[in-house]
Structures are given as C-alpha cells and as structure tokens.
Chains A and B, each alone.
Chain A
Amino acid sequence: MIDTTAIRKNLKLLIDNDPWIVVDFQFVKPGKGQAFTRTKLKNMISGNTMERTYKSGEKLEEARIDENEMVFLYQQGKNYTFMDNTTYEQVELTEDHVGDAKNFLVENMNVEVLFFDGRPISVEVQNFVNLQIVETEPATKGDTVSGATKPATLSTGHTVNVPLFVNNEEWIVIDTRDGSYVERVKK
C-alpha cells in the first residue's frame, strides 16, 4: 500500500480490481483546512476516465503492471500483433488497447507491452521515435526562422505540423508524448 504523497502522473492504481492510471492531479489544501489530492484517472483497460479525490494520508493500492519488451510485427484490420524477442511468444492487441501508440508504430519497432493479470492491456512507445514523411508540400527554401508550419502525413498515417523547410520522404523525430515534431533526423 502507498499513500497520497506517492500520487504523480502515470502512477497506476488498482481500484475495484481494475488498473487506473493517473493522468492529472492537483494538491488542494485550504490554508486552514484539510488537504486532499484531486486526481483524474483513466481506466487502462476500458479507457474510461473518472475523477477521484483522496484525503491526505489515505492509503492507495498500486496496480501491478508487468512491462514486457516486445517487437511490433504487423497490423491486420483492428488487430496489432507483437512478439517477445526471447520466447517468440506472440500477443494480439486491439486498436482500442494500442491507443495513441498506433500513430507511431512501424514494423520491427521495439515497444513495451503492458500486462495486467496476464492480459496485454496497452503499449508504450519510446518518448522519441524516427518516422518517415509520406506526404507533404514541397519544402520552401530559406525559411528557417519564421516558425510557419505545414501538415505532413507520416508512414503510420499520423499527421503532424512540420516547419516549411522539411521535405517529403524525409525522416523526422517525433515526441510520442504529444505527437509533435522535434527535428529532422540527422544524417
């Protein structure tokens, strides 16, 4: 058991036998009053969100989530298949469970697959991944300072805003935490 001082973003809690992840929290304490931590939680299986307020010192149970490094093999319809590199065991996750990670998955990418009670429930990709642009307007030469951007479609189907000087078919670094463009991949 842990208590409210352990609450932080991405903490995984076991509530009514389900794993919930803390997506946001706020410590609330009137100057002369009781302290609470207000949390916004997301169910790691259903994706539902809820708000829950904990009194300071209240005990919480951490959800035991096992992380397993796996490689993404392929996607078929709404199913995504991953393989354990040492046991060659394969697991299949639905699009709902893969969540936003689907925007960044390319074949043979190493990811963390999260298991709860032996069931795969979600996928975590690295904070920064390299992806190739498959469609964007031709680059505008010389414009490196204005901050103007244009949309670019990546090989995964995800669309990001990139600076005007970036070209079609270039590889770029994406921050998977917010899906944003970071820089061109250095050659």
Chain B
Amino acid sequence: MSGQPSPRTMFPGDFAATLRLRHSIIQEIRRFFDTSGYAEVETPLRVPCPCIDIFVDAFPAGASLFLSTSPEFHMKRLLRLNLDRIYQIGRAFRAEEGGRHHSAEFTMLEWYRTGTDYLGIMEETEQLVRRLAEALGPRCTGFSFPFGRMTVAELYGKHAGWDPVTGWNEDRYFRDWADKIEPALAGLGAFFLMDFPAPLAALSRIKQGDPLVCERFELFMNGLEIGNAYSELLDYDEHVRRFEHAAAARRAMGRQPYPADIGFLDSIRLGLPPCGGMAVGVDRLIMALLGLDHINLVQAFPAERL
C-alpha cells in the first residue's frame, strides 16, 4: 500500500499520552467510588425506553428496543435492593449531530446514593473533580475550588436579561441558550448551575417551598456541560404524568414518542428510597481537565475515525 494515509488512521499528535491520561482519570474515578462504599453495577445497553427527555433521540436497536441514552431507569431500580450507593461507567448513545462537544457514542459515569439530595450530590461531585485534578497535578487545567454556584434565574438575568423561572418560554429559553448563554459559559470557569425552571425538571423533584423550580443542577467547566444531577423524583403519579407529557410533546414535534418504562414505573410504585444521582459525560470531563477543545481529541474512535 502506498499514498496518503486515510484520515481514519490519523490520530491527534501525542495521542498515546492522552489515552494514558484518559486511563488514569477513569482509574481514579473508580478508586474514588470504590473507596466510598459504592458498588459498580452494569445495566443493559438495549432498553425498552431510552429516556424521558423530549429532545434526546435514541437509536433503534431491534424489536421495540433502543440503545441506552443513560442508565438512569435501570440503576434506580437497583436502589430498591439493599444497594445504597451504586455507580457505573459505561457507554451511552444519542442520535445527535456531531460537533466539538458531541459524539453519538460516548462514555457516561452515573451514580446514585440514597439518603441524600442534589446538594449532597453537588458536594460529592466537587470532591470527585478535586480528587481528579489533584491526581493529574500540573497536567490539569487550573480550576478554583470551591466551585461557584449560580441559579438559572441568576444566569439568565445576567446574560439574557430575563427570568425563565417566572416567565417560562421554552423557545426563547433554548434560543437564548444558544445565542447568549452558551457563549458566556466559557468565561465562568467551573460552577454549578442549579434550580432549573420546573418545566425542565425531567425526573427531578420540585423544590420544597418553590414550585417554580426543580432540584436539579448541572456542572460546567470552562464552557463545557459536564454533568447533570437531581434530587430524584419519587412520586409515582407524577412520574406517569411526566412520561405522558413527554410522549405528547414528542408527538407534537413530529418525533417518535417513547413508550413509558413499565419496569421502572412498577419499581417507583413499589417505592424508591429518597436519593440523589448524577450523570457525567466522561469524555467532556477529560476534555475539561486536560484543556482540550474537541471531543475527537479524547475519544480514540469518533465517527470520522470509525
């Protein structure tokens, strides 16, 4: 064979070093949870219901199944056993356009802990990132601890000039996210964005004493959305309502509605202990820690190298 190498065979410069760092970061994540009483679990990649998110598209995976977009439903079902702390590092799939920060197949870290809420998860998340930053030493992009905390109302008030909590408008919210908020995030370092408008609750619980917001946060690091956490919703009827609402919203957008997850709902009806949980995009976490600005620089085989 001769001639130009195929782009599929071309890795970024010093990619072996990146893959070694990637390995040591993932090793350190496991060590963090393994030494905190967590059990690592495995859940199916082909699932009957991929998610409750209106804007997430799943890949079909055979008869009435989809590739998992997050292990959320099955992991919560395990909380009914005598497993009070569980985590998983696995693959997740989303049929989205690719980009600097998006890949259709990516690595997800997800963990759940009983007896806590989103604020407890927030502290734990910060401890995890701090541990990873310390383990990386000088190879890590500098972040100042403790991380800042900002509500969605504060962020939109400052950068978009309105309050989506009291004046919810879905189209305006997401358009302003793309035009005004996302470009501002890079200048905000590492911070927790919290208390999302109630219509964006997904499977988080509504905040006690403030029905307009939910107990949900996201971690941002230098403009990258790293992860998302909830005080988990426990109420069965509310779950049913949210699944129905999501299916109707997807139908209205002309997208395939997902079936409600019967096994998950049955578990909720039988009762879940109060808990909090977090999902982290591991590729993006590695990007943020190493200061790399394209997901292709941390994934060995993104779409263009398949």
Contact = CB atoms under 8 A, between A and B. Distances in A.
Interface of A: 4-5, 26-38, 51, 53, 55-56
Given A26-B100, A56-B97, A36 B202 contact: no
B243 to A, nearest CB: 15
Given A26-B99, A27-B101, 8 more contacts: A4-B97, A27-B99, A28-B177, A28-B178, A29-B55, A31-B56, A31-B281, A35-B97
Contact of A38 (B56, B179, B218, B228): B179
Interface in B173-203: 173-175, 177-179, 182-183, 200, 202
21 contacts: A27-B100, A28-B178, A29-B55, A29-B96, A29-B97, A29-B99, A30-B174, A30-B177, A31-B218, A31-B225, A32-B200, A33-B55, A33-B177, A33-B200, A34-B55, A34-B170, A34-B177, A36-B177, A36-B178, A53-B178, A53-B179
B212 to A, nearest CB: 18
Contacts of B202: 32
Contacts of A28: 177-178, 182
A33 B179 contact: no
A32 B228 contact: yes
Contact of B53 (A32, A36, A37, A55): A32
Query: Is chain B's binding surface mostly helix, strand, loop or mixed?
Result: mixed
Interface residues of B, number: 26
B98 interface: yes
Contacts of B242: none
Nearest to B176: A53
Nearest to B179: A53
Given A35-B55, A35-B97, A36-B174, A29 B102 contact: yes
A56 B96 CA distance: 10
Nearest to B279: A31
Contacts of B56: 31-32
Given A32-B228, A33-B174, A38-B178, A27 B55 contact: no
B183 to A, nearest CB: 8
A5 B99 CA distance: 11
A32 B97 contact: no
B175 A36 contact: yes
Interface string B31-74: 00000000000000000000001011000000000000000000
Contacts of A34: 55, 170-171, 174-175, 177
Nearest to A55: B175
Contacts of A37: 97
Most chain A beta-carbon contacts within 10 A, residue among B55, B102, B175, B228: B55
A129 B100 CA distance: 31
A31 B196 CA distance: 13
A101 to B, nearest CB: 26
Contacts of B55: 29, 32-35
A7 B179 CA distance: 17
Given A38-B179, A53-B178, A53-B179, A31 B228 contact: yes
Contacts of B182: 28, 38
A55 B170 CA distance: 13
A26 B200 CA distance: 24
Contacts of B174: 30, 33-34, 36
A135 B228 CA distance: 59
Nearest to B218: A31
A38 B179 CA distance: 7
Contacts of B179: 38, 51, 53
Nearest to A52: B179
Nearest to A56: B97
Given A34-B55, A36-B174, A55-B175, A27 B225 contact: no
Contacts of B183: 38
B225 A30 contact: yes
B119 to A, nearest CB: 20
A35 B96 contact: yes
A56 B255 CA distance: 13
A35 B55 CA distance: 8
A32 B9 CA distance: 33
Contact of B97 (A5, A31, A55): A5
Contacts of B53: 32
A84 B55 CA distance: 51
A32 B200 CA distance: 8
B94 to A, nearest CB: 9
B97 A27 contact: yes
A27 B98 contact: yes
